Structure formats: C-alpha cells, structure tokens
Amino acid sequence: MNHRLRAGATTAALYAIAIPISLAFLYPYWWMCLGMFRNARQVLGDPLRLWPEQFDLSAFAEIARVGGVDLWVYAFNSFAITTASTALGIAITAMGAYALCRQPDLPGFRWLRFGFLLTIMYPYMLLVIPVYIVVFKLGLLGSYAGIVLFLALGPIQFFLFDRFFRTLPREVIEAGICDGASEAQILFRIILPMAKPVLATVALITFLINWSQWFPILVISRSPDTFTLPVALLSMNGELGASFRAIMALAFVTTLPVAIAFVLAQRRVMEGMAAGAVKG
Amino acid sequence: MRLAQFLGAAAVAAAAALAGPGAVKAQQLVIWHDLGDNGVAWFERAGAEFAKTKPGVSVRSISYPTDQWFGRVISAINTNTAPDLIFNNYERVIRIQTQTKKVMDLRATLNQVADKGFLSEDDLRVATFDNAMIILPVQRVQMAFGMRQSWLTKTGETFPQSWDDVKRIAAKFRDNDPDGNGRADTFGLALQAAKPRDLVHMLDLFTFGSGLRHTLIDPQGQITIDRPEHAQVLEEFLKTYSQYKFVAPDTINHSFNEMYQVILGGRGGMFRVGDWNVRGWDGANALNGDFVSGPWPAFGGRPNSVVIGGMRGVAVPDNSPNKALALEFAKFLLGKEAQQASLELVGAAVRKDLNVDALSPRQQFFARANHRLAAYDFPESVHTFYPELEAAFHRKLLAGIANPPADWKPFIAETAREMRELAAKLKN
Amino acid sequence: MALAATIDLAWRNRVFYLFAAPFAALTAVFGLWPIALSIQVSFTASGTALSAAPSYVGLANYATVLADPLFLASMARTLLYTALAVVANLAFALAMAMLIDSPRLKTGTMFFRLALFLPVVTPDVAGYVVWRWLFDRSFGSINAALGSLGLPEFGGIASVDTVTTAILIAELWHHAGFYMTIFLANLAMRDRALEEAAAIDGASAWQTWRHVILPQLRPAIVVNLVYATIQFLKTFTVVVVMTKGGPADRTNFVSYYAYQLFDQARYGEATAMATILFACVIALSLGAFKLVDREAAR
C-alpha cells in the first residue's frame, strides 16, 4: 500500500514537471495567436491576457498584399520551392550518400564527405555577397531553379541517408550481385524500395526544414515574385515600421502549415530525425 | 540538373501564368528602395502615370529591408545585374558610390528639367558628392518631435518648447497615468538605441533640433561632443536613458520596430515623428490621429526647429539596363503627378505647388512646413571613416547607459578624448 | 603506377561516381565555391573588396582583427556562450527525454513531445520576435507573471546581468526539442535487460541511471555535442531579432560582430572574422567527429 502510494506520488510529480514545461513551450504560440487579433496598445498594456478582447481580422486584410505582391503568391512559392527542393534534394542526396557509404574509400570520396561537412560549418550569414556572385555567374539570379538548387542540399538529409545505408545488411547487396544485377539495378530495384520508409521520413523532415529557410531565397531572388512566406515575414521588419498584428498574423500563416504537417506525422518525423543523427 | 531545370522552368511558367499579363511587358523599369508598402504604392501610381506618356512601359518597385538593400545594390552593380534605378536616402547612396564608383552623375539630366525652381541651393548641395550629382532629390525628409495630444490634455500641458518643459511633461507622462488605465505602465519618451545608427540618430535630432550643426564631428574633422553647448545636450540625452528613467528600460535593445511598437502601443508619450509616419499613424488601428508634432526641444535659449534629415532621391547606376528610360523616369519623379503621389503616399515631396487641402492636419504640418527647419550635416559625405567612428561612439555611449556614472561630465570628456584618438587613427 | 591503379580503381567504380556526381556538383558549386570567394575577400582591402580589381593585402585583415580587443572579447564571449548553451541544452534535453521515456508517464507523452518539438520546425525569426516581447521588462508577460506572483523582476534582455540567460532560454526553446528527440531515439534502442539485471543486484535508481543507462547514451551525447557546438558557435538570428548585440556588447558574438562590419563596408575584416570563426568550428567539431567515429567503430 505504502509502495503504491509512493509510486503514485512519483507519477504525479513527473506530470507536475512535464505539463508546465510543455505548456511553457506552447505559450509563445498562444501569444502569437492572440497578437493577431489585438492591437499594439492592448498587447503592451495587458500582456498576460489569455483571450483576445475581440476577434478583429483586419490584420489579415493588412497582409493580403505585402511588398506589392499578393499573399497567395508567397504561399504558392513556399509550397512550390519547398516541394521542388525537397524532391530534388532527396534524389541527389540519396544517390550521393549511397555511393559514399558503399565505397567510402574510392579516390576523392573522403574529400567529398569532408567538403560537404565543411559547408555546414561556415557562418552562413556572411555569405550574402559570395552567394549572390556565384548564382549570378551561373545565370540563375532571380530564378526558381537557382533557389531550388541551392536549397537541395542539407546536413540532416545526408545524415539520415548515411545512417540508413550504413545499417543495410551487406547480404542484400551481395545477393543482388550474385543474381547478376548491375549497380544501378541494385540501387533502384533493391535498395531504394527497401528505403521507402526512410525516404518518406526524409521527405517530411526536409520539407519542414526547407519551409523555414529564408536566407538563400532573399539573396537569390531579384524580386518578391520568388519570395516565400518566411522571407515576406522578414521583409516586413523594415525601418518604416510594420503593424504588430500584421507581423503576428503572417508569422501565424507561416507556422501553421508546418505545425499541421508536423502534428499529422509527428511520430515519423521525430524517429527519423533521431535515427539520422545517432550513428552506430 | 535536368530535373532541377524542369522543376524550375515549370514553376516559373506556373508563376508567370498566374501572375497575369503584367509580368510580360515589353519594357519594364525596376527600382530598388526600402520604403516598404507605402513606397511600393507610390511607385505603382507614379509608374502608371509615366506609362501614359510612354506606352508599353511599366515600373516595378521592390522594397528591401535597409541593411539588405545595401548588400543587394552593391553586389548587383558590381556584377552588372543592377536594377534600372535605386532610391534611398542621400547618405546611403554615397555609400553605394564609394563602394562601386558606378552611380551616374545626374547634373546633365537635371539641366534638362525646366521646372526645377523648387530645388534650393541647399538641396542641390546635399545631392552632390565628389563633384557629381549622385541623386535627383525627390523627397525632403522632415522629422519633428511629437507627442500624444490626449496625454497633454490629461496632464494639463501644452506642446513643450524648452528642454525643461520636456522634462516636466515626461515625468508627468510617466507618473500620472496619462492613458487612464490605472496602471503605471507609461514612459515619458519612446526612443531607440540598439544599433549605432539608432542611438546616434536620436542624438542627431536633439542636437540639430536645438540649433547645433554637428553631433560628433565637424567637417574639419574636429570632435564636437565636449564643447559646452554640445556637452549639455549630450548629458541630458544620456540622462534621459538612465537617471531620469524617462524611457522604458528595454530601450537599449530597441530598434525601429520596437520603438514603433512602444509608440503605437501607447506606452511612450513623446517620440520622433517622420513625415512618412503620419499617414499610418492617422489610421484607426494605430494612433488614430491622436498626436501632435512640433519642433525639437530648445536648449540654452537657442531657437529650436524641426529637422530636415536630408533628401531621399533617385539614382541611376552606370550599368542600368534601360538607362535612357531610367533617366526619363528619374526626371518624371520631379513632375507634379509623381510628387503629389509621393506627398500623399509617402508623406514627403520637394515641390511647393502641391495640393495639400485633402491631407489631414498632421500631414499638413509637414506639407506646409511653416516652421523653422534645421538641416542634417552628413559627416559620412565628408569623412569616409565616419561609420566606424560612429560605431565606436555608440559602443561607448551604450556602455555608459548600461552602467551610468554619477557624473556624466568626466565620461563625456573621456569619450571625446577617445573619439579624437580614433578619428586621428582612422584618418590615416 | 599508383596513379594508374587509382584511375583504374575509379574507372571500375565509375557508376558510383555517377551516383555521387550531382551531390558533388551541388556541394562544390553552392557550398564550397561561395566559401572560397568569401575567404578570398578576407585577403583584400575592404575599399576594393567588391570592385572588379580588388587589391590584395595578404594577412593584413587578420592582423587587424586579431589586434582588435573587441573581436577578442567577442570571440571569448562566443566560446563561453557556446559552452553554456551546449551544456544547458543537452542537460535539459536529456532530462526531458528521461522524463518522457519514464514508464510512469503513460498518457500524454505524444503531447509533451509535440510541445517540445514544434519550436524546432517553427521559423526562427517568428519565434524570436515573440520571445523578444515576452521578455520585455515593462510590457512583457514574463515580468507581468512574476509580478503577479510577487516574485522579483527578471531583467530579461535589457540588463547586462540577465541577457545571456534570456537568449539562452529563447534558444533552448528553439533547439532543445531536437536534442531531446535524439536522446529519446537512443533510449528506445537501449538494452533493457541490463536494467533488470541491475535491479536484481539491488542497484538504486541513481546507480542504474549513472552506470547502466548513461553509458548507453554515449552515441546520442556525442552527436548532440557536435550538432550543438556547430549550432551555437554560429549564434546569429536570436541576436539580430532580440538584442542587436547589446546591452553593452554582452551578446555581440563573432557572427554578429562580423555582420555589423558589413554595415560599415569593412568587408575584408568581416570575412577575416568569418574565416577565423570557421576555423574554430572546424577544429571543435572535428574533435567531436573523431569521437563519433570512435563510437561508430565500437
């Protein structure tokens, strides 16, 4: 009896820690949602309020057009660019990671792996001008192609595939070789079908990550026609001031799709993300 | 690569199809600015007027956040991917010119304009750098001292003239619950300090508005801050952020956005009003017109004034893709239609023959400009090292504000000495 | 001979080069090329850095930067902040992972995971704009809540004493869910039989955790360490949105300090700083990668 009481108390204590922390993590979202309906005066005057004074939707009228471009164009760009860069990135990274895992000792492959790791270590915010020059020299300034190609590579995708290919049983490949399959057949007919769950996971994670990218898009674009939602959000923060509720409304619009995607597929995302990072 | 090109092309095609026929005009002028949605609306209207005289021509304006605007313009001009025109404050165009040496001299262009009597000698001098006219001045930027009208009424005050008036009113604004919400959550002033330009810009306004000519350094390269009349303004300015507790403690992290939230949120009673702010602040969701503008506070009995923050103007890169047409549009921006649109949508213009009757009383204050005006000095056009000096000055002042000395006079003397040493070093 | 053998080896495996070619091309063009250009700028005089014919000044920019006491202070601050942030994030993430993994929590674990992971996929600009106002001393909800509970005021980002804590909290909110998830995955893979054996041997809960569970978490700890080190050495967005390096330079980390020099057109020095920071990231994370490889080899 005493033992069960103690166990109950421990459980209660654990919930007493987990619930407030979770709510604290969600509180900024709630504040953001309130901010869409409240004006600056109400937000600064009564910050603790948990329910808006009014459901004023005028913020959405304010963001219907940002920087001379309709909101739906940004939303369309977000979906188009994120989808295209995710698809392309997965195709390229899967093949690249597979080659690097199957034959890590081929001449140049160690350098390739090292070079790739280097690219994630440079302080990206200082690359504004070089990235612009590179994309210009490729003739891709202001094009969707330039943005999509730039976003295609990312560390998480690579690590996820790397991890998966490393854990593949060698027998699978050897069986393929015995059956006389070519390397291309082994990859496309045997390995990739096996990797379907991983591909789905990587797709989802890449989508979520590319969705919130803004830096390359701002640099490569030549006009707001190719801006995505986060870039539009960023460019609202100009020197001439922006309405607080409009910023919150746009932040909400920017966050909502990823939040929905995440809630729908949370288990897969989290397990996949972790699998990619934990090697061995 | 094929896949990417295909996806890219497909997306471009889809966007073009959805964007409608406007995107495929025969000749399009592109102009980069940082005026936000007001500026976009202005260029849209001016472009539509321009198209009436030049059929088939369209104008597309793109607004970048100010710090992005620099990097974009410089890299675009250096890679020959420049826009047709750029638009910004004069001192920012100077930075572009010093970095690229590719901003066109517009003297010949201005000579072709017959109707330009409204541009004074001062205006033209401001537009000239290194013997070249790098901008056509299109908007005279005015910045006034402003405050909540209802708070003045509530505290039984009228618009302050001297700094002592301001101090008295600031204390009342802070302590007497001027918004009547029953909470002590108001501050005397809403200022900013986060970035070098933020803090020094605020000091500039108090300095020029009180009749002094140079905030930190004069054209001969002498540091001015410890001259008695300057030191007085600087000391009071620093106390405003510290001992006086006239501003919210977070002000040291406030940049434009945060400052605007404090103003629009009705927490700070006195603030800067730029002519471009008025249209937005008249709105029901903003201040609903509950503010009044006037000259900056007077110090030491000198006459006080509203500050002219120089000129915003249009510049044409040497490698502008449609140069002839770009120059036509630059001239067009001085014409009556474009100027009227500028006044209504951005809040500033240079012509004096515009119709101001339809404007609100707050807008008319700036449009009629029946007040004393004091001009900015633009040290960056004389001293190329000025931004670095200013950054060091800002760092020093913020350190002082974060840890305020009991007596500011030795602090100011020490700052002046350090600035002299740094200026001497940077000159070489 | 060796060259011929190498070429022969490569030719026999040409299909793998074909697989890797697009990946290699993108890495080289969009990854390494801009970095090389940026490093090139660090050897040029700022005034000519972006012109058609830049003038090269050798290591002058590096000498200037390394003689700049502000840069050295900024570097020290960056390293200190990185250490603090890595420890705080990993400790919090590990604690939350243990909590959520606890068999006592039966319902609600998905909710807890969601709450902690959602910030990871939220655009950072949006998140930090909100935190900026939550922390505000005069108008923020954190101080309002503390005040209504009768607790002392929190200086937030306005005070030199609390600003590091404040941005640490905001960054923890944004990043900790990621690290927690990795710990959770590692916890799910552990050998539970070892714990049962420990229980039979009469080990206390603490002893079991310390000597049985924690050693099995080494892969996750090492990976998190590498990620977090790279992440926090480059701390940038939170500073841009919330503090602009202030107050009194307390959050003026190297990446932001260098970025500010762009504003003053000091491109040579800014890229020299970037290169130095880059070298630090490589050095620190290479050390950690070595650990990862050792783990993987086990």
| Domain boundary assignment for chain A | 1-56, 62-277
What are chain C's partners, defined as 3 or more CB pairs within 8 angstroms?
Answer: A, B
Whole-number Å distance between alpha carbons of A149 and A191: 25
Q: How far is CA C243 from the centre of its chain?
A: 18
What was the pLDDT predicted at A276?
A: 61
Report domain B26-139+312-355's class.
alpha beta
CATH code for the domain in which residue C256 is found: 1.10.3720.10
Q: How far is CA A169 from the centre of its chain?
A: 30
**Chain A CB contacts of B67 below 8 Å:** none
Q: Which residue of B has its CA nearest to A223?
A: B62
In a domain, C21, yes or no: no
Residue B260 phi/psi, 5-degree rounding, is -65, -35
How far A141 CA sits from the closest chain C CA (Å)?
13
- C139–B391 CB contact, under 8 Å: no
What was the pLDDT predicted at B69?
A: 87
For all residues of chain C together, what is the average pLDDT? 88
Q: Which of B64, B75, B276 sits opposite A235 (nearest CB)?
A: B64
For all residues of chain A together, what is the average pLDDT? 85
- C248–B402 CB contact, under 8 Å: yes
With a cut of 50, say whether residue C258 has pLDDT above it. Answer: yes
> What integer is the mean pLDDT of C124-145?
87
Nearest CA to B265 out of B275, B254, B274 is that of: B254
CATH 3.40.190.10 positions along chain B are 26-139+312-355, 143-308+378-427
pLDDT, greater one: C48 or B336: B336
How far C7 CA sits from the closest chain B CA (Å)?
26
With a cut of 60, say whether residue A31 has pLDDT above it. Answer: yes
Q: Which of C37, C108, C177 sits opposite A134 (nearest CB)?
A: C37
What was the pLDDT predicted at B7?
A: 46
**Chain C CB contacts of B95 below 8 Å:** 265
Q: Which of B252, B265, B403 sits opposite C158 (nearest CB)?
A: B252
What is this model's ipTM?
Answer: 0.87
How far C277 CA sits from the closest chain A CA (Å)?
8
In a domain, C131, yes or no: yes
- A244–B181 CB contact, under 8 Å: no
Q: Which of A45, A121, A270 sits opposite C230 (nearest CB)?
A: A121
Q: Which of C139, C246, C263 sits opposite B194 (nearest CB)?
A: C246
- B7–A84 CB contact, under 8 Å: yes
What are chain A's partners, defined as 3 or more CB pairs within 8 angstroms?
Answer: B, C
**Chain A CB contacts of C29 below 8 Å:** 134, 138
Q: Which of B59-68, B76-85, C137-146, C286-295 has the lowest mean pLDDT?
A: C286-295
Q: Report yes or no: A224 at the B interface, CB cutoff 8 Å.
A: yes
> What is the value of pTM for the model shown?
0.86
Q: Which residue of C has its CA nearest to B185?
A: C138
- From residue C143, give the alpha-carbon distance in Å to each of A75, B29, B32, B419, C137: 36, 51, 41, 38, 6
- C20–A153 CB contact, under 8 Å: no
Whole-number Å distance between alpha carbons of C37 and A131: 9
- A274–C182 CB contact, under 8 Å: yes
Q: Which residue of A has its CA nearest to B18?
A: A73
Domain B143-308+378-427 falls under CATH 3.20.20.150 = no
Q: Which of B12, B38, B286 sits opposite A240 (nearest CB)?
A: B38
What was the pLDDT predicted at B232?
A: 96
> What integer is the mean pLDDT of C248-256?
91
With a cut of 60, say whether residue C263 has pLDDT above it. Answer: yes
How far B367 CA sits from the closest chain C CA (Å)?
33
Residue B298, strand partner residues: B162
CB C38 within 8 A of CB C271: yes
Q: Which of C9, C114, C267 sits opposite A263 (nearest CB)?
A: C114
**Which B-chain residues 176-205 have CB contacts (< 8 A) with chain A?**
179, 181, 183, 185
How far A240 CA sits from the closest chain C CA (Å)?
16
In a domain, C45, yes or no: no
> What integer is the mean pLDDT of C63-84?
95
Count of domains observed in chain C? 1
In a domain, C169, yes or no: yes
- C184–A7 CB contact, under 8 Å: no
What was the pLDDT predicted at A270?
A: 57
- C134–A28 CB contact, under 8 Å: yes
- C121–A208 CB contact, under 8 Å: yes
In a domain, C144, yes or no: yes
Whole-number Å distance between alpha carbons of B323 and B303: 45
> What integer is the mean pLDDT of C246-267?
87
SS3 per residue for A97-148: HHHHHHCCCCCCHHHHHHHHHHHCCCCHHHHHHHHHHHHHHCCCCCCHHHHH
> Any idea which architecture A62-277 has in CATH?
Orthogonal Bundle (1.10)
Whole-number Å distance between alpha carbons of B222 and A279: 63
How far C179 CA sits from the closest chain A CA (Å)?
8
In a domain, C39, yes or no: no
How far C241 CA sits from the closest chain B CA (Å)?
10
3 state DSSP class of A70: strand
What was the pLDDT predicted at C139?
A: 84
What was the pLDDT predicted at B23?
A: 41
Whole-number Å distance between alpha carbons of C216 and C222: 11
**Chain A CB contacts of B13 below 8 Å:** none
Q: Which of B11, B34, B64 sits opposite A144 (nearest CB)?
A: B11
- B402–C247 CB contact, under 8 Å: yes
* Amino acid occupying residue B401: I
- Band of the pLDDT at A268, cuts 50, 70, 90? low
- A19–C105 CB contact, under 8 Å: no
Dihedral class, residue C156 (left if φ above 0, else alpha if ψ from -120 to 50, else beta): left
Residue B143, strand partner residues: B274, B307
- From residue A161, give the alpha-carbon distance in Å to each of A167, B242, C91: 10, 56, 28
pLDDT, greater one: C34 or A202: C34
* Amino acid occupying residue A119: T
Choose the mutation target among A41, A88, A149 for the interface with B, i.e. most B CBs under 10 Å: A41
Q: Which residue of C has its CA nearest to A44?
A: C139
**Chain B CB contacts of C137 below 8 Å:** 248-250
With a cut of 80, say whether residue A167 has pLDDT above it. Answer: no
How far A22 CA sits from the closest chain C CA (Å)?
5
Q: Which of A67, A88, A225 sits opposite B63 (nearest CB)?
A: A67
Instruction: For chain B, list residues with pLDDT below 50.
Output: 1-25
For residue B151, what are the contacts with CB-CB under 8 A and spacing of at least 6? B173, B178, B179, B186, B269
CB pairs under 8 A between A and B: 151
How far B332 CA sits from the closest chain A CA (Å)?
21
Helix (H) or strand (E) holding A66: strand A65-66
Q: Report yes or no: B256 at the A interface, CB cutoff 8 Å.
A: yes
For residue C258, what are the contacts with CB-CB under 8 A and spacing of at least 6? A123, A126, C269, C270, C271, C273, C274, C277
Q: Tens of pLDDT along A35-45? A: 889 888 888 88
- Full residue range of the structural domain in which residue C150 is found: 69-297
